[in-house]
Amino acid sequence: MFNGERIAERPLRWGMVGGGRTSGVGYKHRTGAQRDNIYQLVAGAFDVDPERGREFGVNLGVAPERCYKDYKEMFAEEAKREDGIEVVTIATPNGTHYEITMAALEAGLHVICEKPLTFTVKEAEEIKVKAEEKGKIVGVTYGYAGYPIISQMRSMIEQGLLGEIRMVDLRYTHGFNATDDAEKKSGAQSWRIDPKVAGPSFVLGDLSTHTYYLSQFIMPQMKIKQLLCDRQSFISSRAPLEDNAYVLMRYENGAVGRLWTSSVNAGSMEAQVIRIVGSKASLEWRDTSCNELIYEVQGKPAQVFVRGNDYLDDSALEYERLGALHQEGLSDSWANIYLKIAQAIVAKEKNDEVALSKITYPDINAGIDGVRWVENCVRSAESGAVWVDFE
Ligand code: NAD
């Protein structure tokens, strides 16, 4: 179980490129990185609009002089400082990843980059060579791979509990772009169908890279020998990039697979589904029930493995943070409670009683009421389990 104790003498000095106020993914990076005080955000070139980026960075608590107009200025200026950044996250649209990652490595930084890493394998391999030359780490934020139950899946397959793998069934779909006005409504969507910014694919790069990575993480031994991809642009203005695709796979061990990825799966809110079928048993995981793994042995009742329980493999417990019973969303709920209490403190300090009255948080009255509840329950129980007036 991980309990937030430090893993190094001090937090890593961390910068961000992109991830600004309007960004879809920036907040996920900051909460993921900063939750355990392992990374400290000290610099950024947060936005394609430098002024908005500076204002945003200051609002995040970054020193104004370390909110830069672009990544080039950030890498140059930070390199001059004794306390300059050591690691940078690149959370910009796809077409910028290669250039910024190479510049970061050249500047001696470790890199955490968004997917898809680059447009071509050649570019991605150049990044690998550069990272090795500079002795730096490059991480890619396939964020779903951190679910502890995904590690359990890997461990069960490694132990041979499924037997020989026969079928691999993968899906990452949603329906957000089922209509042709999606691009007009969202800047983040409009660049995703522009090959100059998004690269050679839309949903294959945007969605299915996640699920493909998960499949390789849980089954590192399963190498794809051949594949067949059929892709469509159901909204024709997205052509040549696809908003839907089916991929058939043949694996070296004789197994077969299919992957469906789509942003026009109208009405669907169940994004990823992974089903691995072996000669003895199957495993199935859905990201709408991300804490659960369904294990089906032929001829036996199905079992559900649940995150945080002692019966799981060590690899699934090593990064466990909450313990069994609690759902992962609990951390977000705690963050909201801390946020509301902070808002109340700020309003109180300003004597703003109107603002204070609008913040619904568990205040002193809620604390008193909890004690009252217990007192009344105990009084009833101690009186022989009788009705008592709630006082
Ligand atoms: P977005 O368009 O919502 O946000 C992009 C951000 O980058 C904005 O703040 C923009 O101002 C900034 N930006 C653009 N060019 C910049 C530059 N040259 N310098 C500095 N800042 C710049 O895009 P998004 O949805 O946040 O996606 C960004 C990247 O993250 C993409 O590669 C996308 O594939 C990836 N992504 C990953 C996940 C995931 O689960 N890992 C989820 C969403 C997006």
* Distance of alpha carbon 367 from alpha carbon 349, whole angstroms: 21
Residue 336 — pLDDT band, cuts 50, 70, 90? Answer: confident
Integer CA distances (angstroms), 368 to 14, 135, 363, 377, in order: 42, 57, 9, 14
CB–CB of 113/90 below 8 Å?
yes
CB–CB of 56/47 below 8 Å?
yes
Give the other-Cβ count within 10 Å of 277's Cβ: 20
- pLDDT per residue as tens digits for the range 361-388: 998 888 889 999 999 999 999 999 999 9
**pLDDT, position 331:** 84
**pLDDT, position 269:** 84
**pLDDT, position 363:** 87
**pLDDT, position 140:** 95
The alpha carbon of 101 and the centre of ligand 1 are apart by a number of angstroms equal to 14
pTM of the model: 0.92
**pLDDT, position 19:** 98
How many CA atoms, within 13 angstroms, populate the side-chain half-sphere of residue 298?
Answer: 8
Q: Report, as an integer, the average pLDDT of 258-276.
A: 95
The alpha carbon of 271 and the centre of ligand 1 are apart by a number of angstroms equal to 20
**Helix spans in the chain (H):** 26-34, 50-59, 71-80, 97-106, 121-134, 148-158, 182-185, 187-192, 195-198, 203, 209-218, 314-317, 330-349, 353-358, 364-382
Residue 329 — pLDDT band, cuts 50, 70, 90? Answer: confident
Q: Beta partners for 244?
A: 232, 262
The alpha carbon of 51 and the centre of ligand 1 are apart by a number of angstroms equal to 17
**pLDDT, position 326:** 87
**pLDDT, position 364:** 87
**pLDDT, position 246:** 95
169 CB-near residues (< 8 Å, 6+ apart): 257, 258, 273, 274, 275, 276, 277
Give yes or no for residue 228 having a pLDDT over 90. Answer: yes
Of 61-65, 79-83, 243-247, 360-364, the range with the lowest mean pLDDT is 360-364
**pLDDT, position 48:** 97
The alpha carbon of 186 and the centre of ligand 1 are apart by a number of angstroms equal to 13
**Could you please report the per-residue DSSP string of 102-125?**
HHHHHTT-EEEEPSS--SSHHHHH
- pLDDT per residue as tens digits for the range 135-145: 999 999 999 99
Residue nearest to atom 4 of ligand 1 (CA): 23
Length of the chain in terms of residues written = 391
- pLDDT per residue as tens digits for the range 55-66: 999 999 999 999
Amino acid of residue 381 = A
Q: Smallest Cα–Cα separation from 215: which of 142, 304, 164, 141?
A: 142
Pick the atom of ligand 1 nearest to 94's CA.
32
Give yes or no for residue 332 having a pLDDT over 90. Answer: no
* Distance of alpha carbon 207 from alpha carbon 263, whole angstroms: 9
**pLDDT, position 365:** 86
With a Cβ cut-off of 6 Å, ligand 1 is lined by 17-20, 22-25, 45, 47-48, 70-71, 91-94, 96, 114-115, 141, 143, 187-188, 191, 206
The alpha carbon of 268 and the centre of ligand 1 are apart by a number of angstroms equal to 24
Give yes or no for residue 235 having a pLDDT over 90. Answer: yes
Ligand 1, from 25, 71, 90, 94: best to mutate by most atoms within 8 Å of Cβ? 25
The alpha carbon of 77 and the centre of ligand 1 are apart by a number of angstroms equal to 23
CB–CB of 302/310 below 8 Å?
no
Give yes or no for residue 115 having a pLDDT over 90. Answer: yes
**pLDDT, position 338:** 87
Residue nearest to atom 8 of ligand 1 (CA): 23
The alpha carbon of 18 and the centre of ligand 1 are apart by a number of angstroms equal to 6
The alpha carbon of 313 and the centre of ligand 1 are apart by a number of angstroms equal to 35
Give yes or no for residue 7 having a pLDDT over 90. Answer: no
Instruction: Name residue, tokens 């020998």.
Output: 225
Amino acid of residue 31 = T
**pLDDT, position 6:** 86
Q: Report, as an integer, the average pLDDT of 266-285.
A: 96
Ligand 1, from 21, 114, 196, 261: best to mutate by most atoms within 8 Å of Cβ? 114
Of 40-49, 116-125, 326-335, the range with the lowest mean pLDDT is 326-335
**pLDDT, position 334:** 87
Mean pLDDT of the chain: 95
Amino acid of residue 147 = Y
